[in-house]
Structure 1
């Protein structure tokens, strides 16, 4: 199955691409502008397009363009940081097959992908009300204060899209130690996945200049 991920939040898009590759999907492109989304869809006619139009500086018309240009052959799931029913309605009216808020986490999105590919129309816009609310910036920073320096370095590499093996190489430790650090990061930040941890850091800027000064892994949609 071929997917195109159009999202202006590049780190999150690449982390999502990594998750989908591990599930057996082929990520054809991760475009970051409306024009490059259209070009990728024209060139590839993917089975699925995950699209956060707003993060690309566009609106529902970008969804309409994808649907029209592929004559409906490409399933479209609209992603958004806006969990309002109005945003969901606008996306579905533009032709999206599904609508998923980013606050729900990667598990909600993967479940939505499976259902949309199976022919369902899916709306997951109540995730924030169905689970504990995302922490405020102050609360997120308070939780991050409990991270050790090695755990903060690990989080920095997760944000860059590094997989376990690459993190172990950069930090000079075993993969077992890396997994231990990652478990500690998830526990201390109160999240359930690497993607959610990276999203929390991107949203609230949990790492300071010294954390960002560590050797960084090259970003790759296919990090293991």
Structure 2
């Protein structure tokens, strides 16, 4: 069972997201919050697997809440709900250790897919915002993305295959099944990729995969 805390200051959004999540019998929303401060308190109390946070919330915004949760409950994966005009927050979100980005207006199936991917240990970047995310971060903290495109060419063929699948939001288990590798071998490849490209987490790796053209973007 994937246990979740859902936080959004709009009751209609919370109701809609909860209804979508309820269609998957393996996902349970254990608590809901209307602001970031309440979200942090509920996550600390319930210790869910995933905290699904809106970016813009009163009292404490989603990014600040994510940073607090990274320090207080690092075992809880944080996924951000975003809209197209909020992509400039991605760099801050990466600093806060966010594991996924989902669009509020995305297909309901994508919401389930993203939650499941993060629960399985992967990062998930909504394909519909991938190109905008890259455009936003290319001039900021991840300006090394252009340089990393050259570094990607220095990866082994297998490492490029693994990176492409990381970019698709696959977990180590999924990648292992796709490439007929053990999870331990996949984990070693992912660690080597992060080290060689100077990245801190799988979300950054997913962005680089898109930037390098290893993953087709959604138009």
TM-score by length of 2: 0.53
Tell me what 2:64 maps to: 61
Q: Secondary structure at the match of 1:55?
A: coil
Counterpart for residue 17 of structure 1 = 18
Task: Give the superposition deviation at 1:92.
Answer: 2.0
Tell me, yes or no, if the aligned pair for 2:63 and 2:96 is still in contact at 8 Å.
yes
* Structure 1: 5+ residue stretches without partners: 131-224
Residue pairs, 1:1-224, within 5 angstroms: 1-24=2-25, 25-56=27-58, 58-70=61-73, 72-82=74-84, 85-124=87-126, 126-127=128-129
Contact 2:51 2:79 in 1 (8 A): yes
CA distance in 2, matches of 1:120, 1:42: 22
Taking a change above 3 Å as real, the CA distance of residues 128 and 13 of structure 1, as seen in their structure-2 partners, is farther
Which residue of structure 2 lines up, in the alignment, with residue 155 of structure 1?
A: none
The runs of 4+ residues in structure 1 deviating greater than 4 Å are 127-130
The verdict on how the C-alpha distance between 1:74 and 1:103 changes in structure 2, with shifts beyond 3 A counting, is same
The SS at the match of 2:84 is coil
TM-score, structure 1 as length reference: 0.52
1:18-64 CA-to-partner distances (Å, cap 9, x unmatched) read: 22223122211110022211110111010111001313461521111
Structure 2 gap ranges (5+): 133-219
1:103-154 CA-to-partner distances (Å, cap 9, x unmatched) read 3232222111111111111111634989xxxxxxxxxxxxxxxxxxxxxxxx
**Deviation string for 1:138-177 (max 9, x for gaps)?**
xxxxxxxxxxxxxxxxxxxxxxxxxxxxxxxxxxxxxxxx
Q: How far has the Cα of 1:3 moved from its partner? A: 0.4
Name the Cα RMSD after superposition. Answer: 2.3
- Contact persistence 2:84–2:129 (CA under 8 A): no
Deviates more, 1:41-50 or 1:21-30: 21-30
**Computing the radius of gyration over CA atoms, which structure comes out larger, 1 or 2?**
1
In structure 2, the CA distance between the partners of 1:68 and 1:93, relative to structure 1 (3 Å rule), is same
Q: Is the 8 A contact 1:7 1:51 kept in 2?
A: yes
Contact 1:4–1:28 at 8 Å: present in 2 too?
yes
Distance across 2 between alignment mates of 1:40 and 1:34 = 10
Higher RCO structure, 1 or 2 (CA under 8 Å, sep 6+)? 1
Secondary structure class of the residue paired with 2:105: helix
Separation (CA, whole Å) in 2 of partners of 1:122 and 1:89:
15
Distance in 2, matches of 1:125 and 1:22, equals 22
